[in-house]
Structure 1
């Protein structure tokens, strides 16, 4: 039964919203603090009078801008406008996804009171006339919100006539605490609002104190213990925002003293205090620069030791994210990606953190695949999900956001419209769901075979069959040809469902079901199928499995999928859940945790900043879980011709994912840390070549795809072989790679899709790809990508002693010079007659895929020495350094995915090598500087700022992991003798446990002494006890194990590595 009330309050706090004057209260009130003046003007605020387009570039709305009462200045630190989540004026774009803008306010109270109420008064001067926002306030985490009235001044926050709206949020004064308090403003929906004044009014007993330079957000003992040596410690976690200049923090716990340095930025410092054996009250004192800032008695008790999987925050990066990123239980390289969906069919659909309702739980988040959706419901039938802002128009349910938890092994949430609690867990090929129902005669589990996805598609056929009163099986047959690429995703996804309790009946609907009218309690339908044993149809098709439930009745459902058959789906379920775990949900949860602890344990980092551990291990998790691998437990898989094939190796599966520029991220991480996945990917490519005659730009559920450009599976194969991953047929791989580099593409592959290099014919004819060839995906920049693939193929020829081929492809690898203009120093579009395209603008001249001439002019990963010489070292360094400074203003990300606006864009594939280019120009300290800046500025820890660009199947996260290790490979390890390039390691100690199978189980340790946010520069280096004077380290030195010791400082040693 749906709850129709739209607004809510966490913890059932008193919430009162008054749009006029507030009744007089018995308790004497005063203004505690204010921002701005109630003067019908916004000129006292930052960005006034009309610099609203600079909101995002000035950092407003992001995690690094906040307002501190008593220190901040309204004219500099409080923007006059707060944009909505879908406004292009502040970073939103169709391709970029919705923005998440929050304005935090911090203030400190010396004295508090439990008496009476306080009032947060927000006076708005004007509101978007087109799309008034739902304005939300968080007061120390508690939620208050109000739908604002539309304004009168038009679509943009400029030339405003005052149209005052005064909103007062009344709340218990006891919700304010001694110490630092936090209030956050956010527009949840709609457009912009412009402020006139913000103030807090409360009882006279409330007394302010000055925060100073350090915002001490919270102090608490951790709910875990850590082990060092033979002792257990329980960290005291101190959450700090340091505004400017470093400070000293001294912590005393029961007279044990620990002193640390606080660097500018956000940290959660760990102070390791000996663990206790029973409940204890400890006195905690904290001094900042000698002044006492905290003195309390805190209770603590024995806790379980923390494991690495507990650091993973699955909500990081889930706002504005791609279809492939959802919170939910995933194994490394999974086939099942069980998780919540809450969006309609739109680019970047799937899960959006800011939407507080859910349509259901999908089994797959594969690119171009929609899968099928499941949702527990109570009450009247609904067969459409309904829009995100009107859940009552469909089966979509609102959620209690405070109950939504996502950790490795388990996702949980309360569906408030149905009163159902949901838990999810999974194995590699199977899923396990737990629903806790209220008492009801109309409890149901919905199965929607035509759910929304990132692209539109057709449901050609669905069949759902009752096997008995506990089991359901079926399939969906979908065709997706709406991607904009030349490919058709044609697949049958078979499924098997088993319940722990018998259900009453099964009903369902098909295209032919007819919605008659909206009734009082939702939509009723005629012509649906009730008490049926089979549902079959096309278009909108689904089923309801009906139960009668008692209060807190737990319904468990085990499920699995297969691209081959329902028999295989049952087999997957039997072998991965039914036999090993039975109906024990918690054992499946623990199994996934154990698997991830093993993978995450391949890299151990040491830092006293808890946030840095969360950031690192979450990125590590994303990097290894972003791609899918299809293949049933018996080794069977479906090829591009929809025929069943079998892998001889039961551990081999068909890896999904595209290869565009993965040599700068996923490829090199897999080669070093998870070589079995690197091998699996190569074998997948070769299996595709065996059955289809071509390599693939990306394999998705057994189909050839044309996404994106070039054939960057070549550097993946060559990089794997040259890195020592040699459990595949390299001769066969060479034939496959040579074939795709010398054979003209097929516009239409018989099994669907397109194969080959789009622009190969003009590339061979001219030595470059001219502008306007009118071929599919034919960009001038393809010249650069083809040239790199040619060089990688030449390295393979060299290994196999194919001398003529080596000479041929090495010559072709120099084709980048054919579009390099020595006068401007940029790669430029060239016409077929050999003339330069005019006019030329390095930002906006066409011919560059998802980028511009600025960004692609650095794309010569195989010959950067030649590129530096061609541009000129001095011009190369000055231009690149200037570009970094310019892009730093927007955290190295193209706002709104406006690729052509910026010289450097870390938020997309073509530019992720940029900071490492300085090494090749003789200024390695600039590589160290800018690598660290990108680590800190581009990568955040929140739902939106974790990956502000395109986190495409683990590419952004893999880059972060490699960069914080201080290692990078410009060529993805494809050189005949691979090297690692040094950047700026983030952690004081990094231990890499290498593969037993591929690298002999060796261990390589990186000790970056004094590494911190400030100490980014390498001042000295020793490898295995000997002085190391190069910014390159042979890969063989790392995989044989050893120790690299670096001395890190906050100033560069410009003479180091400069020989």
Structure 2
């Protein structure tokens, strides 16, 4: 079976507590993304009982059999998952109330729909689009509409396989639309859609360029082949059918993040409201950098380094157009949410792994602007505040004392200060800025930011062993509960997790953190305690305060990204075998081929990319260091196709559900005694061989770095 045939887009369509996924139809990094529009208010897509239409740019389409039966606006139909088929490249469902089979497939900036009516000769079609938008009937086979959504222009051109008649139009405060009727002939109506952010003529050009002369089946086949090429870059042998389903579905989710919005060499940027010449490079948007810097971007880099460098240059362009590096860059511009300057980690990680096809000097300028001129406050974009000055002068972000009323007007009311998380996440980002400065010969900046990279030490309370909040006067906030302190989501001090998780949030200086906690043995005991510590009461009390902290094993929460690297920290203790054991437990417990099979918010592929790496047996514990931790692979062989035709191979001899422990390892025949490998070995097409057994070899993985091992590419 081909890789693409394993993908099940219904995995994760029921959330454990918060949001679910949707069965998205797209091409890898495609601009056109489709999913059925289901019942408003039902957040779990799989549980929604009705379909209200299918996206068409800023509008939607809904085929109906009787245009006179009811007001077109708000019309919907029941559907049955047993009469539904979802794939990355196509979607099909029976609209039961209408007795119409609806299908859709995609290209990069276009979509192809096919509607089969059970009651010809007439076919009805409802078209909705934004209120106040434009609508133009170009001919009896083509219409064009557009509107502004979140300040961004959207244009769509539709072309029909047979003539259509305009039956009626309507408009309300929220939506406008029309009803169309076609002579359905044999009962089939095909619709092609092209989209654009530039203008209506460009939408037409996009449509013609991608779908001119193509039948629905041809469009569908091309999309399927595109996905197979992308997914086929990672080939796996062995494992169970369910593991392959989860693996390739996770890989599919990992390739939806960051979409090219370049149209015939031009793109509209919401960062300055202008149309730009792409200068031969695609412009990418749609990223959740707080989530994706950890392992999604490193995975995409392995799969397609040329594209990743275009993504970095896209961030540089956003900086040039807006004056800062975005945190959540979307089509409509940046959403300044979450914490940190994590684009610095993304940029330095790519640079340090040897990929330099972007404006590195301008990228460093942008990293430095974010680190020195933009407030660190969560969910806020603006100049430095008095809280930022405390960080710059004293090396930590200040928390409110108990009973103290917030008086800093810039603080986002719900999101609070998140003081400890801000300190820890910016310390890591500042380390990345320091490394980039050193690479570019900026020694003064290197020294300043390297010092800031040690700021994590300022919020470590030796008396308790936890990262803890300090007030502006440098005193610990007391009393402080590392489990429940910080209010909803821990947001007074943390970001969606508690001190048990954030006390390990020092990716860039693990050795320094270990020393703070008393050495490798005590550090290992702290990790053990994390996975064992319970809730001091009911689990629902804990989850009521920390709804993002799903996928629990003790206080460890696989359902939220700050925990992702923690199981791999055992590789820095006397017991690397515990990394192997924990990873197998997490993959088995919290990733399944069912609608509830993703244990937390997917966040543009973040959860899924963790599984792809971990199932391979590797993980980038610290983006910015050109190495990967070794875990416990699920497959007998994993092959990564490299640019230029080479292959990086991981062989896990004797691997099985029981045989999860590494007995010995080598890379290209060289014995490997440390549980990590260099990026340079992957890029060179090396072969990593792991010999697996059912009981841990407690001596393996505790050795020194092998010759030539560095954190540089």
**Could you say which residue in structure 2 is the equivalent of 1:964?**
615
**Could you say which residue in structure 2 is the equivalent of 1:951?**
602
Contact 2:376 2:388 (C-alpha < 8 Å) held by counterparts: no
Distance 1:657 1:539, change over 3 A: same
Contact 2:239 2:634 (C-alpha < 8 Å) held by counterparts: no
**Could you say which residue in structure 1 is the equivalent of 2:555?**
903
Equivalents in 2 of 1:755, 1:362: separation in Å? 35
CA offset at residue 572 of structure 1? 0.9
Taking structure 1 as the reference length, the TM-score comes to: 0.61
Contact 2:524 2:570 (C-alpha < 8 Å) held by counterparts: yes
Contact 1:372 1:447 (C-alpha < 8 Å) held by counterparts: yes
Of residues 506, 531, 548 in structure 2, which corresponds to 1:860?
506
Deviation by residue 1:432-491 (Cα, 9 ceiling, x = unmatched): 0000113357632112225xxxxxxxx5x2122111111111112233xxxxxxxxxx22
**Could you say which residue in structure 1 is the equivalent of 2:531?**
884
Equivalents in 2 of 1:747, 1:619: separation in Å? 32
The alignment status of 1:421 with 2:101, answered yes or no, reads: yes
CA offset at residue 933 of structure 1? 1.3
Taking structure 2 as the reference length, the TM-score comes to: 0.90
Matches of residues 691-840 of structure 1 in structure 2 within 5 Å?
Answer: 691-745=321-375, 754=381, 760-772=388-400, 774=408, 775-776=411-412, 777=415, 778-780=417-419, 781-840=421-480
Equivalents in 2 of 1:410, 1:744: separation in Å? 43
**Could you say which residue in structure 2 is the equivalent of 1:78?**
none
**Could you say which residue in structure 1 is the equivalent of 2:60?**
373
CA offset at residue 1045 of structure 1? 0.9
Equivalents in 2 of 1:491, 1:324: separation in Å? 26
Matches of residues 276-295 of structure 1 in structure 2 within 5 Å?
Answer: none
**Could you say which residue in structure 2 is the equivalent of 1:992?**
640
Matches of residues 906-945 of structure 1 in structure 2 within 5 Å?
Answer: 906-944=558-596
Deviation by residue 1:258-292 (Cα, 9 ceiling, x = unmatched): xxxxxxxxxxxxxxxxxxxxxxxxxxxxxxxxxxx
Which stretches in structure 2 are left out of the alignment for 5+ residues?
A: 401-405, 487-492, 704-713
Distance 1:856 1:478, change over 3 A: same
Contact 2:635 2:655 (C-alpha < 8 Å) held by counterparts: yes
Deviation by residue 1:51-97 (Cα, 9 ceiling, x = unmatched): xxxxxxxxxxxxxxxxxxxxxxxxxxxxxxxxxxxxxxxxxxxxxxx
CA offset at residue 355 of structure 1? 2.2
Of residues 85, 88, 98 in structure 2, which corresponds to 1:408?
88
Select the structure of larger CA radius of gyration.
1
Equivalents in 2 of 1:465, 1:822: separation in Å? 69
Equivalents in 1 of 2:513, 2:48: separation in Å? 47
Deviation by residue 1:27-47 (Cα, 9 ceiling, x = unmatched): xxxxxxxxxxxxxxxxxxxxx
Equivalents in 1 of 2:301, 2:238: separation in Å? 25
Matches of residues 286-685 of structure 1 in structure 2 within 5 Å?
Answer: 306-320=1-15, 325-345=21-41, 349=43, 352-363=45-56, 371-379=58-66, 380=68, 382-383=70-71, 394-439=74-119, 443-450=123-130, 459=131, 461-479=132-150, 490-511=151-172, 538-550=173-185, 552-578=186-212, 582-607=213-238, 609-649=240-280, 652-685=282-315
CA offset at residue 789 of structure 1? 0.5
Contact 1:628 1:656 (C-alpha < 8 Å) held by counterparts: yes
Equivalents in 2 of 1:693, 1:731: separation in Å? 15
Contact 1:665 1:955 (C-alpha < 8 Å) held by counterparts: yes
Distance 1:887 1:757, change over 3 A: farther
Contact 1:470 1:501 (C-alpha < 8 Å) held by counterparts: yes
Equivalents in 1 of 2:464, 2:378: separation in Å? 39
Partner of 1:622: helix, strand, or coil?
helix
Matches of residues 189-338 of structure 1 in structure 2 within 5 Å?
Answer: 306-320=1-15, 325-338=21-34
Equivalents in 2 of 1:638, 1:956: separation in Å? 28
Equivalents in 1 of 2:211, 2:496: separation in Å? 43
Contact 2:206 2:263 (C-alpha < 8 Å) held by counterparts: yes
Which stretches in structure 1 are left out of the alignment for 5+ residues?
A: 1-305, 365-370, 386-393, 451-458, 480-489, 512-537
Contact 1:496 1:560 (C-alpha < 8 Å) held by counterparts: yes
Contact 1:828 1:853 (C-alpha < 8 Å) held by counterparts: yes
**Could you say which residue in structure 2 is the equivalent of 1:246?**
none
Partner of 1:691: helix, strand, or coil?
helix
Equivalents in 2 of 1:497, 1:1036: separation in Å? 48
CA offset at residue 401 of structure 1? 2.6
The structure with more strand, counted as a fraction of residues: 1
Distance 1:757 1:491, change over 3 A: farther
CA offset at residue 543 of structure 1? 1.6
Deviation by residue 1:339-379 (Cα, 9 ceiling, x = unmatched): 20213157xx4x71122321111246xxxxxx322111122
Distance 1:786 1:717, change over 3 A: same
CA offset at residue 420 of structure 1? 0.7
Equivalents in 2 of 1:833, 1:747: separation in Å? 19
CA offset at residue 874 of structure 1? 3.1
CA offset at residue 879 of structure 1? 2.4
CA offset at residue 739 of structure 1? 1.3
Equivalents in 2 of 1:701, 1:710: separation in Å? 21
Partner of 2:582: helix, strand, or coil?
helix
CA offset at residue 761 of structure 1? 3.1
